[in-house]
Structure 1
């Protein structure tokens, strides 16, 4: 595997099974209030392979007309996003090492055939704050590279209960999900993977 840029940390096995189950229940409540939807890529309108929603005062969205952005309401229902569950705020305090709380938690649901191409998380105004990622459900193959799209990349597996922190020198590192490994977890009844990413948007 390629050497990770400074500030990128993979912290495996941080959530035991009861903690994972509790988070899944919290996310189900979020989804009941802010349903999963299929986002579109800017310009082309091509649907992404993940379904997503958010919680927090802001949520990350994308569509054909207006592109990548944060906004305070669900793009389909028009309602404000539900609040970030306390358990996720506790994880931010433990692992982000940042004095201000997250404003957004992006919820991505990956079916077993879903992918996420290499990208940077750069729509935030506060790039000093890290992005905190939590994996639930089936294992994925996570790819991470450098600050340029054509920099060398390396891949490693993320299992249910793993945490990744993307900050410091590596805050704008390109990263993505190459594949999902079906039936590697029994956490989600119908399979798939949930990825939660906590972000601070404003300075």
Structure 2
């Protein structure tokens, strides 16, 4: 069974306007009548593409990004995926879910996050170099007996925590989207296997198979 790490949630009908709030909310359910689910799947599928994902991953703290990813989290629960992938009229739903799975798999997300991770690393390197430069100036201007104290202070200082947090959030979102992709893939494969078995049983019983 695939276990998905759970990010925070906003109401599903929040306006389309930025993922990774660490505050825990009760996640609303998107369930009920099939047309309700279908509309949300159609909306989300249309907004799942590399350009949009790249924009959202670059702005994880924005309300637009949070709303975007939380709508995905709210819709793509195991029960909702199964409901959409089964029954009459499921073909377009399966196509949309397959599209989402392909966009969120690890290989696809890597193409988006790799340059962003590199930028975080470069920004952090520059921040450390700036702090080292300040340390060198301080040590040159300080009395000799203060040098060790300044060096120890530097070693214990937290440098650019916002950059490290941003990198952590980016990696956490990458992991979560990959987990969603795996969940969708596994359920679709299960549905296909069940359908194939039903067809084989119908053939063995002499029923007409379309």
Same fold (TM over 0.5): no
The structure whose residues are more often helix, as a share, is 2
The structure whose residues are more often strand, as a share, is 1
TM-score band by shorter chain is under 0.3
TM-score, normalisation: structure 2: 0.22
Rg: which structure is higher?
2
TM-score, normalisation: structure 1: 0.22
